[in-house]
Amino acid sequence: MTTDSKAVVDQAEAYYDSDDADNFYFHIWGGEDIHIGLYETPQDAVGDASHRTVAHLASHLTLGANHRVLDLGAGYGGAARYLAKTHGCHVTALNLSQTQNQRNRELTAAQGLADRIDVVHGNFEELPFPDASFDVVWSQDAILHSAKRDQVLREAFRVLKPDGELIFTDPMQSDDCPQGVLQAVYDRIHLDSLGSFGSYATLAADAGFTPIATDDLSDHLVRHYTRVGESLRARYDEICRLASQAYVDRMLTGLQHWVDAGQAGHLAWGVLHFRKTRSRRRGSK
């Protein structure tokens, strides 16, 4: 993996802060949620399917008004608002992009949830929170952007209370993905690997976590990238007025790379769920 992790973080920040990306993700990817959706039919709207993922992830947890949740790479804060509204939790939405954080604050205030959601600018590799401050660490399709995925999981472990839970989704490569077939996919995130179910299980165990559940939902990845591409093509002229045509064309090519790699069985996506058991495993780093 690329070793210049600061450059990777800077690139992710500049990318998500750009008007091109902001307009594309806000208007096409799903509005409040910018992750892979769960599809009941291939024609489902991207936003509806993406919203379903949030509810699905939440169904893995028992949440209440006294729970403090930290969302890593929170985007526009769709999950934070769902959790605050549906379960009454207090959510800290940590995110690198100030452009997204601004939209998050506006949407949160408009929905009357500002007292239950803090939007914090930060890097999930170096969390600006004390040890043992959250009941749940949550993340959707964000950790792929890190060159230090091991450190992200160690930070999640550190800020969780004893018995706290880490739950996340991530676009991943399959555990048996051959070398050299994903370069076009890696190029889009400026890295030279993705996580996988197996590599995350190892990193989580090294950080001290105990596994709770793994939910392989890889079938939805191809459907989602196909659907986002279809939506973008259908609204091409409109989006080209909001984002540059060069960006939109690059995005269409990039989405097709993900569809092709997914259809070839090289990609994976799903839920990974772990617990910070009270006594940390001996020998873990």
Ligand X SMILES: C[S@@+](CC[C@H](N)C(=O)[O-])C[C@H]1O[C@@H](n2cnc3c(N)ncnc32)[C@H](O)[C@@H]1O
Nearest to 279 by CA among 111, 109, 163: 163
Region binding ligand X by CB under 6 A among candidate stretches 70-78, 111-119, 158-166, 195-203: 70-78
Measured CA to CA, the distance from residue 252 to residue 225 in angstroms comes to 10
Nearest to 233 by CA among 258, 75, 225, 50: 225
> Which residue in 21, 26, 125, 191 binds ligand X (CB under 6 A)?
125
> Which residue in 23, 92, 95, 231 binds ligand X (CB under 6 A)?
95
Neighbour count for residue 190 (Cβ, 10 Å)? 16
The answer to whether 104 contacts ligand X (rule: CB under 6 A) is no
The answer to whether 100 contacts ligand X (rule: CB under 6 A) is yes
For the segment 219-278, give every residue that binds ligand X (CB under 6 A).
Answer: none
- HSE at residue 82, side-chain half, CA atoms within 13 A, is 19
Q: Which is nearer to ligand X, 92 or 123 (CB)?
A: 123
The answer to whether 92 contacts ligand X (rule: CB under 6 A) is no
Q: Which is nearer to ligand X, 95 or 196 (CB)?
A: 95
Region binding ligand X by CB under 6 A among candidate stretches 96-104, 154-162, 195-203, 276-284: 96-104
The answer to whether 165 contacts ligand X (rule: CB under 6 A) is no
Measured CA to CA, the distance from residue 134 to residue 93 in angstroms comes to 12
What is residue 178's three-state secondary structure? coil
Measured CA to CA, the distance from residue 252 to residue 257 in angstroms comes to 9
Residue nearest to ligand X (CB): 75
Q: Which is nearer to ligand X, 7 or 281 (CB)?
A: 7
> Which residue in 51, 145, 220, 276 binds ligand X (CB under 6 A)?
145
Helices (H) and strands (E) in the chain, counts: 11, 9
Region binding ligand X by CB under 6 A among candidate stretches 110-118, 135-143, 205-213, 263-271: 135-143
Collect all residues with Cβ–Cβ distance below 8 Å to 146 and sequence separation of at least 6. Answer: 5, 8, 9, 124, 125, 152
Residues in the site for ligand X, rule: CB under 6 A? 9, 12, 16, 33-35, 73-75, 78, 95-97, 100, 123-125, 140-142, 145-146
